[in-house]
């Protein structure tokens, strides 16, 4: 892989990724406005008996009886060994790919990974470099995109198939208003249209909608199931008083859609619906690797954004070390380094939408863990036998009954009650996500023998 000639296209892509970090943005304005905003938010939090705004956030999001900071650090420590193995494997593959033609990257087998090599603007997920790190490049891959086209699927066929998945579990069908008012294809009437996939509850008990610019491919096929998971949550808790018509905590709404996606995208399910005609062990590891590049690679990023902001609110970080502390946490948690030199004249956290938008982010970290707890519980209800990552609870009325009971609670009960309803546990646990990726962890440990795990 490292012997391929240095192409102009590859060189241009790398240069463009670096340019993101060199781009001239109104950083001074962002920083100056942000300093004032932090002061105002802390003042409001203290007026309401919180030590700072970070403490207020944590209480609102998770009723911080557990001390959310310590809980998240504990969860991360349990998952860090898997991330470290993934990091070491990916680093080695990137060295093979780039070190000969791009010595200026200074890639070493004990170092950090330059953030711009991971195929995502924020290096928060790494699926876009799957072709570089694929465990078995010669394993025959069934192309779901090709299968969709060969079987003459159109967008609405995919939407109806997603609806059928939920109905097969005994859950509610989409309402007539859903079919009448959802926008599944980008309008061609010239109006401005935001294509980011979203689900909406109109709060009248029967009008629920999805908006997305769907195309016939497996990515959008998965996204439809995910967004319909939000709609199922809306429908199931629609009888609650309006104040309780939301997820049990800020993580659970996202976790439900992802839980369904975990089942939908298994080889087991895709084979049942004719989109995955062949399975083998090598392909199985490939699928787990692709999932890890999304789910495991994200975890430290999902944690560090709010870890950085919590420390900004409590005064550990101030205007003198905003950017250096950002990169300190990115190195500490992700093992990444900036592509070019950074200083306090830069404000790299502002490149992530949720920071200038002042939107909490730890919900995603919790969601990426709890969804595997939900998934394992539904698999147990469906009496699945075999490796967890191969479970498909399609057509399981028992799994649907369990899920529906939890969804109907909305936020009317503490989130621990909702967790217990579906999993039998009251705590967020990493046991399910570790079990899901156990075959990949074993494979990575074999591949990384003799490799330096971690970074200097």
**Of these residues, 139, 147, 197, 380, which one is catalytic?**
197
Known active-site residue 364: yes
Max CA separation in the chain (angstroms): 63
Catalytic residue among 141, 354, 451, 452: 354
Contact 215, 158 (CB under 8 A): no
Query: Is 448 in a helix, a strand, or coil?
Result: coil
Find the catalytic residue in 83, 364, 375, 394. Answer: 364
Question: Catalytic site residue 136?
Answer: no
Across 59-165, the runs of DSSP E, i.e. the strands, are 113-114
Rg (CA), the chain: 23
Assess whether 219 carries a catalytic annotation.
Answer: no
Catalytic member of 116, 225, 226, 269: 226
- In the residue annotation, 357 being an active-site residue is answered as no
From the candidates 225, 254, 269, 389, give the one annotated as an active-site residue: 254
Smallest CA-to-CA distance from 85 within 356, 379, 292, 326 is with: 292
8-state DSSP, 353: T
- Catalytic choice (8, 104, 196, 357): 196
Residue 94's φ and ψ, nearest 5 degrees, are -70, -35
**Which among 87, 116, 225, 230 is annotated as catalytic?**
230
Work out whether strand 198-201 and strand 208-211 pair parallel, antiparallel, or are unpaired. antiparallel
- The 10 Å CB-count burial string (b at 16+, else e) for 416-452 is bebbebbbeeeebbbebbbebbebbbebbbeebeebe
Is there a catalytic annotation at residue 297? no
Assess whether 254 carries a catalytic annotation.
yes
Strand intervals (E) in 173-318:
198-201, 208-211
Specify which residues 200 forms β-bridges with.
209
**Would you please indicate which residues are annotated as catalytic (active-site) residues?**
196-197, 226-227, 230, 254, 354, 364
């Amino acid at each position: 892989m490292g012997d391929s000639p240095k192409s102009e296209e590859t060189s241009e892509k790398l240069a463009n990724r670096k340019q993101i970090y060199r781009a001239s943005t109104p950083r001074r304005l962002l920083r100056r406005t942000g300093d004032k905003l932090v002061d105002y938010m802390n003042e409001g939090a203290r007026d309401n008996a919180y030590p700072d705004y970070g403490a207020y956030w944590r209480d609102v999001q998770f009723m911080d009886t557990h001390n959310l900071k310590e809980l998240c650090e504990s969860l991360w420590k349990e998952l860090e060994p898997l991330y470290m193995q993934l990091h070491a494997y990916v680093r080695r593959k990137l060295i093979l790919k780039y070190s000969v033609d791009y010595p200026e990257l200074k890639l070493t087998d004990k170092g950090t990974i330059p953030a711009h090599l991971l195929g995502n603007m924020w290096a928060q997920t790494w699926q876009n470099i799957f072709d570089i790190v694929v465990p078995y490049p010669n394993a025959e891959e069934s192309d779901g995109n090709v299968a969709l086209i060969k079987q003459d699927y159109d967008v609405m066929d995919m939407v109806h198939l997603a609806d059928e998945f939920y109905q097969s579990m005994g859950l509610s069908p989409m309402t007539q208003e859903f079919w009448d008012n959802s926008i599944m294809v980008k309008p061609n009437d010239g109006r401005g249209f935001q294509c980011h996939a979203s689900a909406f509850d109109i709060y009248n008990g029967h009008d629920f909608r999805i908006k997305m610019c769907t195309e016939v491919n497996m990515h959008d096929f998965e996204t439809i199931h995910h967004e319909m998971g939000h709609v199922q949550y809306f429908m199931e808790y629609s009888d609650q008083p309006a104040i309780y018509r939301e997820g049990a905590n800020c993580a659970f709404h996202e976790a439900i859609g992802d839980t369904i996606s975990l089942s939908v995208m298994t080889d087991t399910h895709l084979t049942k619906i004719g989109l995955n005609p062949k399975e083998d062990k090598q392909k199985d590891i490939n699928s787990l690797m692709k999932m890890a590049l999304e789910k495991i690679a994200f975890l430290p990023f999902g944690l560090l954004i709010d870890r950085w902001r919590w420390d900004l609110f409590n005064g550990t970080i101030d205007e003198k070390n905003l950017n250096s502390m950002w990169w300190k946490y990115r190195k500490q948690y992700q093992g990444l380094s900036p592509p070019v030199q950074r200083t306090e004249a830069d404000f790299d956290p502002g490149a992530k939408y949720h920071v200038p938008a002042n939107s909490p982010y730890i919900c995603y970290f919790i969601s990426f863990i709890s969804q595997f707890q939900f998934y394992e519980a539904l698999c147990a209800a469906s009496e699945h036998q075999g490796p967890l990552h191969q479970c498909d609870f399609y057509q399981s009325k028992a799994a649907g009954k369990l899920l529906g009971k939890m969804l109907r609670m909305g936020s009317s009960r503490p989130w621990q009650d909702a967790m217990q309803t579906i999993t039998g546990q009251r705590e967020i646990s990493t046991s399910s996500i570790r079990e899901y990726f156990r075959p990949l962890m074993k494979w990575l440990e074999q591949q990384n023998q003799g490799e330096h795990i971690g970074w200097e």
